A and B are shown apart, each in its own frame.
Chain A
Amino acid sequence: MTTTISTAPAVDQDKPGRPSGWHGSSFVTQVWVLTARSMNAFWRDPRMLFFSLLQPLVMLLLFSQVFGGLSKLGGLDQYGDYINYLLPSTLVTTTMTAAMSSGVGLLTEMSNGVIARFRSMPISLFSVLLARSLSDIVRMGIQLLVMLVAAALLFGFRPAGGVMGVVGALAVSLVVGWGLSWLFLAIATWVKKPETMQAVAFLTMFPLMFASSAYMPPSTMPSWVQAVATVNPLSYAVYASRGLATTIWESPAVQTLTASLAISLVIAAVGGWIATRNFRRTT
């Protein structure tokens, strides 16, 4: 070692014995390692696993039973059973609850110090957030698969689009859910408290969920709710999912698909930018 110490900030004064190159892994490695970590929490907690898989089933049971009589109404009979109308949209709304839990999960980790450790390390914070959203999307996918299988076996879900149509609907739902998870991650880094997060999230979630085509055809709603449902991004996602699964398109197929995917990507981009910015340093 030389006796003079350089004062130039860019020069790295490694201590002897420090492993060379341990100054942050590649972005891909970060995302991979962190995603695996978040997934691990899911598998390690059997109760959480059980209830997060049970939740969509309960929703499905409730909605199909409570709203089952609606299939006798005009407009819905073309779908056959109401479950065929309901399930593709439930795929979308379920991803929204999963997206919300993404934000809540981030805040929980922020409060127990794990996130502070990552923030004090030479790694990209976007990768911490991306890993969170990716692990949540995998979780979402598992939830939705369980729901689809149960719907087919127990509730007589037989959409006209067949397996390929349903897989398409699943894919659209996951992309939309992933986009929405960035909305909730951005909210999380902004409100910073789990309790506030819950309140803001429900305020965001329920209007989006119900003032949409998810459960009822907008034509049955008062005109002002109809107006909201028409501009609600979730409606496009629901139309897309339902169109793919049932081959009945309530609006032009290509436009609907493009709109739902484009909106998701815009939400992801804006949410990602805001979340990463809020996350870097608190002011």
Chain B
Amino acid sequence: MTDLMIEATEVTKSFGTVKALDGVSIQVPKGTVLGLLGHNGAGKTTLVNILTTLMSPTSGHATVAGLDVMRHGDQVRSRIGLTGQFAAVDENLSGVDNLVLIARLLGASRKQAKDRAGELLATFDLSEAATRLAKTYSGGMRRRLDLAASLVGRPDVIFLDEPTTGLDPLSRIGLWEIVEGLVGDGTTVLLTTQYLEEADRLADSITVLSKGRVVAAGTAAQLKAEVGQRTVSVVLANPDDAVTALDALSRAGLHPMHDRSRNSIASPVAKSTDLATVVRALDEAGVEVGELALSEPTLDDVYLAVNSEAPAA
């Protein structure tokens, strides 16, 4: 039985003559993560704003937890948590006071609010900084506090709008682990991101938005299959080896291309075992490798694959 926690049907949103959303439909089953992938201006935040009742759609229909976002706004708001692009914490309050504030607004007693705040601060590794003002927090700590604030009421559905933008790699991984934990507890998540890697790691299914339209949708694996492959690039230690290397890789069944200016050879690979094929082929041909790198497809590659009119990023 499908139990959809988020459903948008043909949602459009116009700002004057600009169509921010042009007939977007998504479905997110309970306990799963939908990754909404797209560049700035693709319409991700607009869709989040409509689903979180901050904005009315121009046309179309949307429900969250089975509740119409237009007709049952208040009930929707008591089921969701929102972590926006800017860490929405009160800088002049301490970490614990920020969470107590939210809990009190949700209807908790002073005691309940304190307990819940303490619980969340511990989960988010902020206990030590609990009594410090939020303005003294680092970017990663603020994000964690912000996410904690959106979880105070134990929402069924949480919306994360570019939760890791501007975070250092370590904080980013920390946040990913937190999101994975939430999903493990049965929470439904809609996550927007500009990074394919992030969607790949967290999302059960991915919807790619471009200029307000859904240009691709599916699992990470399906999208990658559409995009094509990862790329191995080899920087040659000796430029004279180029022809030998191209020859060796072609014989190994790959389609290498020579980049003269960088003195490198790039070849799309389908599976990770192909990396070994590349290394072996070059080794057997006696080509000395300067650098070897495997690059993941990026959002741009997805765009290029699904939409020839992709914006130049």
Residues of A within 8 A of B (CB): 5, 7, 9-10, 12-13, 15, 17-19, 21-26, 29-30, 33-34, 37, 40-41, 44-45, 112-114, 116-123, 281-283
Report the Cα distance A283→B50, complex, angstroms: 10
Q: Given the complex of chains A and B, what is the CA–CA distance between A118 and B107 in angstroms?
A: 14
Interface residues of B, Cβ cutoff 8 Å to A = 1, 3, 49, 52-56, 65-68, 71-75, 77-78, 80-82, 84-90, 92-93, 101-108, 112, 116, 133, 149-150, 153-154, 156, 186
* Across-interface contacts of A118 in B (CB, < 8 A): 105
Contact of B78 among A10, A119, A122 (CB under 8 A): A122
A45 touches B106 (CB 8 A): no
What is the predominant secondary structure among interface residues of chain B facing chain A?
loop
Residues of A within 8 A of B66 (CB): 5, 7, 9, 13
A9/B78 in contact, CB under 8 A:
no
Tell me the smallest distance from the CB of A279 to a CB of chain B, in Å: 10
Alpha-carbon distance between A114 and B134 when the two chains are bound, in angstroms: 13
Of the candidates B1, B73, B85, B153, the one whose C-beta lies within 8 Å of that of A22 is B153
Cα distance A140–B1 when bound, in Å? 59
Whether B156 lies near A114 (C-beta < 8 A) is no
Q: How far is the CB of B302 from chain A (nearest CB, A)?
A: 29
User: Are A122 and B74 also in contact (CB < 8 A) when A9-B66, A281-B56 are?
Assistant: yes
State in angstroms the CA–CA spacing of A114 and B120 once bound together.
19
Known pairs A19-B153, A117-B88 / 16 extra A-B pairs, C-beta < 8 Å: A7-B66, A9-B72, A10-B75, A12-B75, A22-B106, A23-B106, A25-B107, A25-B108, A33-B104, A33-B105, A37-B101, A114-B90, A120-B53, A122-B75, A281-B53, A283-B55
A25-B88 in contact (CB<8A): no
Measured CB to CB, the closest approach of chain A to B288, in angstroms, equals 53
A268 → B minimal CB distance (Å): 23
Contact B105 A123 (CB under 8 A): yes
Task: Please state if A19 and B116 are interface contacts (CB–CB under 8 Å).
Answer: yes
Task: Return B145 CB to nearest CB of chain A, in Å.
Answer: 12
**B48 nearest in chain A by CB position:** A120
Output the nearest chain B residue to A282 by Cβ-Cβ distance: B55
A10, A34, A44, A116 — which one has the most chain B CB atoms within 10 A of its CB? A116
Bound-state CA distance A30–B101 (Å) is 10
- Residues on A with C-beta less than 8 A from B89 are 114
* B154 pairs with A19, CB closer than 8 A: yes
Give the CA-CA distance A45 to B90 in the complex, in Å: 13
Residues on the B chain within 8 Å of A10, using CB: 72, 75
**A19–B108 touching, CB < 8 Å:** yes
Q: Quick check: B90 and A121 within 8 Å, CB to CB?
A: no
Given the interface pairs A40-B93, A281-B53, A282-B55, the reply to whether A22 lies near B107 with Cβ below 8 Å is: yes
Residue from B3, B56, B85, B186 within 8 A of A15 (CB atoms): B186
* B-chain residues with CB within 8 Å of residue A34 when the two chains form the complex: 105
| A113 lies within 8 A of B88 (CB) | yes
B82 and A15 contact, CB distance less than 8 A: no
In the complex, are the beta carbons of A121 and B85 less than 8 A apart? no
The residue that B54 contacts in the complex, of A15, A23, A29, A116, with Cβ under 8 A, is A116
Docked complex Cα distance between A189 and B20 (Å):
22
Known: A9-B66, A9-B67, A282-B54. A21 touches B107 (CB 8 A): yes
Asked if A122 meets B106 with Cβ closer than 8 Å, knowing A113-B88, A114-B88, A282-B54, the reply is: yes
Q: Are B133 and A44 in contact (CB under 8 A)?
A: yes
- Closest A residue to B72 using CB positions: A9
Q: How far in angstroms is the closest Cβ of chain A from B309?
A: 29
List the A residue with the shortest CB-CB distance to B63: A9
- The contact sample of 5 A-B pairs, CB cut-off 8 A, is A7-B66, A9-B68, A25-B106, A29-B104, A281-B55
- Give min CB distance, A94 to chain B, whole Å: 24
Query: In the bound complex, what is the Cα–Cα distance between A112 and B146 (angstroms)?
Result: 12
In the bound complex, residues from chain B placing their C-beta under 8 Å from that of A37 are 90, 93, 101
Contact of A116 among B84, B92, B102 (CB under 8 A): B84
Bound Cα distance A132, B279 (Å) = 66
Alpha-carbon separation in the docked complex, A119 to B154 (Å): 17
Q: Give A34's nearest chain B residue, CB to CB.
A: B105
Closest CB of chain B to A264's CB: distance in Å?
A: 29
Residues in A whose Cβ lies below 8 Å from that of B85: 113
Contacts of A113 in B (CB 8 A): 84-88
Cα-based distance from A229 to B68 in the complex (angstroms): 51
Bound Cα distance from A18 to B153, whole angstroms: 7
Residues of B within 8 A of A122 (CB): 74-75, 77-78, 106
Contact B106 A121, beta carbon cutoff 8 Å: yes
In the bound complex, what is the Cα–Cα distance between A40 and B156 (angstroms)?
Answer: 32
CA distance A112 to B134 in the complex (A): 13
Q: Which residues of B contact A117 (CB under 8 A)?
A: 82, 84, 88, 102, 149-150
Is A24 in contact with B156, judged by CB distance below 8 angstroms? Answer: no
**Structural contact, B93 and A15, CB atoms closer than 8 A:** no
Chain A residues whose CB sits within 8 angstroms of the CB of B55 once the complex forms: 281-283
**Residues from chain A with Cβ under 8 Å of B74 in the complex:** 24, 122
> Are B105 and A25 neighbours in the complex by a CB distance under 8 Å?
yes
| A119-B54 Cα distance, complex, nearest whole Å | 7
A121 partner residues in chain B, CB cutoff 8 A: 77, 102, 105-106
The interface residues of chain A lying within 8 Å CB-to-CB of B77 are: 120-122
B47 to A: closest C-beta gap in Å? 14
Shortest CB-to-CB span from A102 to chain B, Å, is 17
List the A side residues contacting B153 at CB < 8 Å. Answer: 18-19, 22-23
Which chain A residues border B186 with CB–CB below 8 Å? 15
Q: How far is the CB of B28 from chain A (nearest CB, A)?
A: 15
